[in-house]
């Protein structure tokens, strides 16, 4: 924290400068922390993703698991979103996470149970982000 001496007439500009400097420090800290958190979330989702056990085509084994990636989406000058998504089999994410009925039999033949693998990684990423924001706001940029 910087110490500044000023006249009472200049107090508003000095406080504004200090707050701008603080906001820039927090923004820089978040710009380095958020991509790391997104990469950790991607690795957690990938580690928990199910792999088809009975697959006659060896080349397709683990395709869903290998498809997880992080995409950087620049919204504007001050905001960048990081999206963890499956680039190969995005259609399966909802079916595997929530469960579904069999295509060839409906509900009478059976139901495929949910294989939850996205929600735990999301919760962990939210927790990591909150901790990073608190750490950066307190000035501990590590």
Q: Which long-range contacts (CB under 8 A, 24 or more apart) does 95-98 make?
A: 96/50, 96/64
In whole angstroms, what separates CA 99 from the centre of its chain? 23
For the chain, which residues make up each domain, given as ranges?
A: 8-137
Which tens digits make up the pLDDT trace of 71-81? 999 998 878 89
Which tens digits make up the pLDDT trace of 87-110? 999 998 998 998 887 766 665 566
Looking at residue 77, what is its pLDDT?
81
What is the distance between the alpha carbons of residues 44 and 41, in angstroms, rounded to a whole number?
Answer: 5
- Write down the pTM of the prediction: 0.79
Residue 66: name the closest of 42, 83, 82 by CA.
42
What is the distance between the alpha carbons of residues 102 and 104, in angstroms, rounded to a whole number?
Answer: 6
- Mean of pLDDT values over 27-47: 94
- Mean of pLDDT values over 99-126: 82
């Amino acid at each position: 924290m910087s110490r500044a001496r000023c006249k009472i007439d200049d107090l508003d500009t000095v406080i504004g400068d200090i707050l701008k400097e603080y906001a820039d420090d927090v923004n820089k800290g978040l710009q380095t922390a958020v991509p790391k958190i997104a990469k950790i979330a991607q690795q957690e989702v990938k580690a928990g993703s199910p792999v088809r056990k009975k697959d006659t085509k060896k080349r397709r084994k683990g395709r869903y698991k290998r498809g997880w990636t992080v995409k950087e989406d620049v919204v504007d000058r001050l905001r960048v979103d990081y999206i963890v998504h499956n680039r190969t089999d995005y259609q399966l994410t909802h079916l595997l996470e929530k469960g579904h009925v069999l295509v060839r039999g409906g509900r009478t033949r059976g139901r495929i149970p949910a294989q939850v693998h996205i929600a735990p990684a999301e919760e962990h990423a939210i927790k990591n982000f909150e901790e990073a924001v608190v750490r950066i706001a307190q000035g501990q940029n590590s």
